[in-house]
Amino acid sequence: MTPTKSCPADRAAVQPDARPINRRTPLHRLRERTRSPLSMALFLLVMLAAIATLFVVFFLVVYILVMGIPHLTPSLFAWEYTTDNVSMMPAIINTILMTGLSLLIAAPLGIFAAIYLAEYARRGNRVVKVIRLAAETLSGIPSIVYGLFGMLFFVVALKWEYSLLAGACTLAIMILPLIMRTTEEALLSVPDTYREGSFGLGAGRLRTVFSIVLPAAMPGILAGIILAIGRVVGETAALIFTAGTVAALPKDLFSSVRTLAVHMYALSNEGLYIDQTYATAVVLLLMVIAINALSSFIAKRITGGRNG
């Protein structure tokens, strides 16, 4: 019997992979960086910046918790504010109302404007360039300028007085460029193959945008909304000139209100309730963390449902 000759494919299937396995340990990577003084210096600078950032964040969080938690008392969560209990409960509810109302105004405008810029406007259009430049310029304006504009336009010209609506409209103008720019970047990051596949199946542009592009860009859009929420919750200068400092629950949209950040500023400015100010800072910190966690959870659920 003559032995059968094995083909090259069979030999390749039998022989193990002769390519070396790259097992680079952290020590090996560190030795590679130390070969060049410049790379080693850049590596040390990057590590130093990361450590400094983490240290500052950790120090601030721990300092606020240590100084504020011992002063959290049930009287701070009473439904009515008095000079004896300096309750923050009306400010907490006002913060939620202010955040929801400002997002209700700014989010649809920002998202639809971003859809027009990313999906409908022609590339290289001068109007698009002007809109983007205006949005970037508005993003860098200090909040006190927005507060003065809101006071002159909403409070004085429209005669809304110091009110929840005036503060919400001012904050909506403030966060509108942020939502618009982040949404536009999220839409532009969606691969064009998604659009081409939808068009190839016969879908129109409107259905492609709302059924294919928007769900794919939803994590980026929610990231911009999270940043906007963080700016609204921590805003004080713009609200002092537009919403006022009345520590009570609003009766309607034209009632003067005090948010949690303004409440903390007012307590620290008086100098009589420093301990309660630290306690308010703890609640404000926990509120921001809870809002970010909830938004991240919603983004993951939306992404997971779309992938599933």
Domain chopping of the chain, boundaries? 83-307
pLDDT at 150: 93
pLDDT in tens, 9-46: 454 444 445 455 455 666 666 666 666 777 778 888 98
Question: What pLDDT does residue 271 have?
Answer: 76
Amino acid at 94: N
Alpha-carbon span 158 to 167, nearest angstrom:
13
Confidence (pLDDT) at 1: 45
pLDDT tens digits along 249-295: 888 899 999 999 898 888 888 778 888 889 989 998 888 888 778 77
| Residue 248: predicted pLDDT | 87
Distance CA 186, CA 220 (A): 5
Q: Which residues of the chain have pLDDT under 50?
A: 1-4, 8-9, 11-16, 18, 21
Fold exhibited by the domain 83-307 = MetI-like fold (1.10.3720)
DSSP code for 226: H
How far apart (Å, rounded) are the C-alpha atoms in residues 104 and 169?
A: 10
Residue 6 DSSP one-character state = P
Give me the pLDDT at residue 14, please: 47
